[in-house]
Structure 1
Amino acid sequence: MEPVFAAVVAVLTSCGVYLMLRPRTFDLVLGLTLLSYAVNLFIFAMGRLTVGAPPLLRGTADHYADPLPPALVLTAIVIGFAMTALLLTLAVRNRFATRSDASDTGEAAHPLSRREQP
Structure 2
Amino acid sequence: MRSWMASAALLGLTLAACGPQTPEQAQIANIQDAAGAEADAIESASKNQIGQIRAEAETLSGQAEIANGFEAERLRARAEALQKDAKIVERHADAQVQAVRDRARADVSALKAQ
TM-score, length basis structure 1:
0.44
**Bigger fraction of residues in helix:** 2
Q: Which has the higher contact order (CA 8 A, sep 6+)?
A: 2
Query: Over alpha carbons, which structure has the higher Rg?
Result: 2
